[in-house]
Structure 1
Amino acid sequence: MNATVEYRQEYVEVDGARLGLQVYPEPDGVADAPVVLIVPAMGVRARYYRPFAGALRAAGLAVAVADLRGTGESTPRPSRSCRYGYPELAADVGATLAALKARRDGRRTLLLGHSLGGQAALLHLALHDGHDVDGLALVAVGVPWWRVFPGPRGYGVLPYSQAIAGMTRLLGVWPGWGFGGRQARGVIRDWAYTARTGRFPHLHTVDAEAAVRTLRTPVLAVSVDDDQYTPHETVDHLCAKLGVAPVERERYTPAQAGARMDHFTWVRASTPLAARVARFAADLPAR
């Protein structure tokens, strides 16, 4: 098993959108392997995670990777007519899980989110108390509140994030100029809100902050050394919101990975991290 293994491209129809879903073959020699659904970072295509998917398969996990709405194989392409934001991204996680139900039945299910994908996965679970997911792994997932960035960096995060939000309101869509890829205005609006306030926005009429505090699903939260967008402090800030969920909090270091990393390149040096995720999945309690 290796990172070059081919996946099967599938699609999930939801509310007029089409979500791309890459389904990898079962791991060799493992019966009823836990199923891991990877939810990507903002603007990152599902196919970028092929090295990580290969490492997870080698660790004995069944893997699928979903494109976020508007990215990669998913539609619609963000435009001025697109208004979706965090509520729709969280709902898309649920639709993708439902599409995988036949494969997941009788097995442990693990959601694994990277950056924005981790926020969407967390919010989906927090809003659906009766979900059938056994565990949540968060890699480089935080709340980018400007006040928790170390040193003077936060004083740059606030004007930078709000300038992106202002430009998006003006243009009706974020063109992806140097950050995040092309995005719908609602996604940028909600992301900028988290950067400004340190809180999740209301999802329609639901208080997402309150819902996250009541989540009981076990969480593995991993920050990455030298992460330019999600430093350790932003992950700690997110974990502090998890009032009752059991949280395993770890750092992924260059010494472990055998390479220097950042917010994105950890994917290319992810074999040790995949092994850690597999141990987390194996230790999850029965629901």
Structure 2
Amino acid sequence: MSSTPEYLQEYVDRGSDQVGLQIYPEPEDVTDAPVVVICPAMGVPARYYRPFAAALRAAGLAVVVADLRGTGASTPAPSRLSGYGYAELVADVGAVLDAVKPQRDGRRTLLLGHSLGGQAAALHLALTGDRTVDGLVLVASGVPYWRAFPGPRGYGVLPYTQGIAATAALLRVWPGWGFGGRQARGVIRDWAYAARTGRFPAIDGVDAEAALATVLTPVFAVSVDDDQYTPPRTLDHLCAKLAAAPVRREHYTTAQAGAPTDHFTWVRASVPLAARIADFAAGLAR
């Protein structure tokens, strides 16, 4: 049995918080493999992406997975003292990219976001103009705007999201009752604002909507079958904000995956998707 660890667990200091970072071994027999930095979904720990990391490595890509603040190996867990929101999550993306800069130097870098992680990744590029990132990959991500949900479902999404926000404001933390895991009230506040208005709030005084329209980084945007939280139109809504960026838009079906998919389970059937991401990476200029 190999004694090589599945990944190296590291941490990035963020003031009184720490962000967990999982760095996987380099793919075998590949020189200067593009580096994929994964930003997870709300409440989903980095370790959940192990099957996806394995698929990406098999496709010839180096992999780093960063826990969102307060999730997984990141500490501390959200409490009533946790007032952070999207601004801090977006800043964490930059800190993670800086932490793995020695690994990224001289290679193409892909920033890959799932759900909330996709929002944070796109906003990082918008607010910083980061030219060290060569490509943005959005998988099962989008803006959870209630009007973007199909049929009458949106009329349920609006009170559901706003009820979660009201509860988080009252309790000063979201306990994770049936959705999203335990979250800081600011994260829920900003997420609920996007669900209600279809727009991102201003971040550190910057108009996030205007900033998104200036992003030039190539985008590979993938929706998945049976996604209950970010159906295809919510991803289209996010892609429309990236007006200046070249967008490659695809849909990942259950038939292509060879197994059932939804907002979460696509991770377990991601080998064909990993091949598409490797193809996207190969076409990027350094």
What SS class does the counterpart of residue 112 from structure 2 fall into?
Answer: strand
Q: Residue in 1 aligned with 2:118?
A: 118
In the superposition, relative to structure 1, how do residues 113 and 130 fare at CA in structure 2: closer, same or farther (>3 Å)? closer
Residue aligning to 1:56: 56
Partner of 1:159: 159
In structure 1, C-alpha distance between the alignment counterparts of 2:72 and 2:79, rounded to whole Å: 15
Deviation at 1:77, TM superposition (A): 1.0
Letter of the aligned partner of 1:8 in structure 2?
L
Q: Which residue of 2 aligns with 1:107?
A: 107
Matches within 5 A, 1:1-287: 6-286=6-286
Does the CA-based 8 Å contact 1:22-1:65 persist in structure 2? yes
| 1:130 shift after superposition | 4.0
Percent identical among aligned pairs is 74
Shift of 1:5: 7.0
* SS of corresponding position for 1:256: helix
The TM-score, its normalising length taken from structure 2, stands at: 0.98
Does the 8 Å CA contact 1:257/1:272 hold for their aligned counterparts? Answer: yes
Letter in 2 for 1:45: P
Deviations 1:68-122 (A, max 9, x none): 0000110121011101000000000000000000000000000000000010011
Residue identity opposite 2:13 in structure 1? E
Contact 1:5 1:54 in 2 (8 A): no
Instruction: Extract structure 1 runs of 4+ deviating beyond 6 A.
Output: none
Residues 220-273 of structure 1: CA deviation (Å, up to 9, x unaligned)? 000011000010110111111111000000000011100111100000000000
AA aligned opposite 2:194: T
AA aligned opposite 1:172: R
| Structure 1 position 15, deviation (Å) | 2.1
What 5-or-longer segments of structure 2 have no aligned partner? Answer: none
CA–CA distance in structure 2, aligned partners of residues 233 and 270 of structure 1: 21
The letter of the residue matching 1:81 is L
Q: Post-superposition shift, 1:187? A: 0.2
Query: d(CA) in 2 for partners of 1:201 and 1:101?
Result: 29
Give the count of matched residue pairs.
283
Q: Conserved in 2, the CA contact under 8 Å of 1:37 and 1:111?
A: yes
* Letter paired with 2:189: R
Quote the RMSD (CA, aligned, Å): 1.0
Provide the rounded CA distance (Å) in 2 between the counterparts of 1:121 and 1:129. 12
Q: Distance in 2 between matches of 1:225 and 1:187?
A: 27
- Distance in 2, Cα, partners of 1:144 & 1:118: 12
